[in-house]
Amino acid sequence: MMSRSILGALLGALLIVAALPARGADDARDLPIIAEAVNAALEYQKTGATVPWNSAQSGNKGSITVLRTFFRGGTPCREYERTLEQGGRVVVTVKGTGCRNNSGIWNLQEGNQPAASAAASGGAPQQANLRPVVLPPTSTARVRAGDTYYVNVWAYRTPPGRSRGDLFVRDDVYSQEVLETFPKDGALHVDLLDGGKVRLGANAAVRLDEFVFDPSTGAGKVTASIGRGVARFITGRVKGDDFQVRSPTALIGARGTDFVVGVAATGATVVHVIEGSVEVTPLGGAPPQIVNAGQSLGVNPGGTGTTTAVSRPFDPGIEEASGGSFRTRSATPGFGSRRGGARGGAPGGPPGKGHHD
C-alpha cells in the first residue's frame, strides 16, 4: 500500500491524497468536488458526521466521514474515511489523517484500503490496486470582507500562497487570509462589510475562511477559524447558521450575538457570550450545547467533553478602542490605545516604541 504526506502550498486551500482504483478510476472532473467535500468535513463537521459528494458529469458519488479527532504534540488532527461509488456499489474506501497548524494548513497522510463490499450481483469484493494523485485546492473565491480600523503594536496578514506581510489601519481584508497579532500587547480590529466586527487580542491567529454578503437582501455567509489566542466576534446582518466560527475542537454557530472565543495551546476552547446566544458543537462527538448571554463553556482538548467550570477568556485587545494613535501606513509604527488608557504613550501623544519580528 502507498501513502504520501502533502503540505498544502496555499493557506486555506486543502490538498488531499486521493486513491484511484485500477479500473473505474476517479474522473478528473470529480476531483474539485471531492476536494470541497473533504475540506468541508475536516473544517466544519463533528466526529461521526458524513459529507456526501456526487458528480452530475460522471455519475460517480461517495462520501467523506470524520472518524475521530485527536491531538498530536498539541496539534489538532482528524481521521477520515473517503468512499467512491460506481454502478451503485462502493468500489474503494480510503482512510486518511489530517493535522492542522495555526495558519490553517492541513498536513495530510492517506493510506490506501480497498473496499470490502461485494458487487450488486453478489460477486466477490473488488480488490483494487490503488495509486495516489493530488486533488486541486478548493475553489472558494477570495473576496473583500472588510477593512481594519485599529491596530496595536503590530498586526500581520498572510494571503493564500503568499508570505506574511504587515497590516495597517484602513487596509482592506479579504477572505482566506490569516490575520495575526504581535505576541505582546498586539491587537487588531476588523469591520466586516455586513456590519459585523472581529477583534483579535495579543498573539492571536484567525482566518476568514469565507465571506459572502448581498447588501440588497442581507443574505450571506461568514465562516472563520481561530487557531490560537483570544478573539471577539460581533455579528452584523449575517447571523444564525450562516455565521460560524471554528476552533481546533469546536464549531460555534452565532444567533445574533457578541461572543468571545479563547483557544489554548492544547486546542482546548472556551466560549463566552456577551450578548445573544451561540450553539457550541464539540468536534470530538460530545453533544452540542446552547450558551446564553453571561455564560461560558469550555471544550476539552479532544473535543469529547464540555464544562461550565471555566473562566471567561479575556484580552484587553478585544475591547473597543478609543482615542490614542492608530497604526497607519503614513504613521510611525507604534502603540495605539484601548479603552482604559493608552499603551506606550499618552492618548493623543507620540506613540510608543513599535515592534516587529
pLDDT in tens, 24-78: 455 677 777 777 777 777 777 778 888 888 887 788 889 989 898 877 776 777 8
H or E segment and range at residue 245: strand 240-246
Average pLDDT over residues 101-114: 58
In total, how many domains does the chain have?
2
C-alpha–C-alpha distance, residues 181 and 13, integer Å: 22
Looking at the structure, tell me whether residues 27 and 152 fall in a common domain.
no
Any idea what the CATH number is for the domain that residue 203 is in? 2.60.120.1440
Average pLDDT, the chain: 75
pLDDT, tens digit, for every residue of 124-154?
333 333 333 344 444 455 789 999 999 999 9
16 domain-assigned: yes
pLDDT, tens digit, for every residue of 252-289?
999 878 999 999 988 899 999 999 999 999 988 889 99
For the chain, what is the largest distance between any 2 Cα atoms, rounded to a whole number of angstroms?
A: 82
Contact 246, 44 (CB under 8 A): yes
Contact 259, 235 (CB under 8 A): no
Percentage of the chain beyond pLDDT 90 is 39
Looking at the structure, tell me whether residues 125 and 181 fall in a common domain.
no
202 domain-assigned: yes
323 domain-assigned: no
Task: Identify the pLDDT of residue 141.
Answer: 59
- Structure confidence at residue 9 as a pLDDT band (50, 70, 90): very low
- Structure confidence at residue 102 as a pLDDT band (50, 70, 90): low
Looking at the structure, tell me whether residues 16 and 89 fall in a common domain.
yes
- What length is written for the chain? 357
339 domain-assigned: no
Contact 336, 150 (CB under 8 A): yes
263 domain-assigned: yes
Look up the domain containing 302 and give its range.
144-318
C-alpha–C-alpha distance, residues 194 and 17, integer Å: 37
Average pLDDT over residues 337-349: 30
Final residue of a domain: which of 134, 159, 177?
A: 134
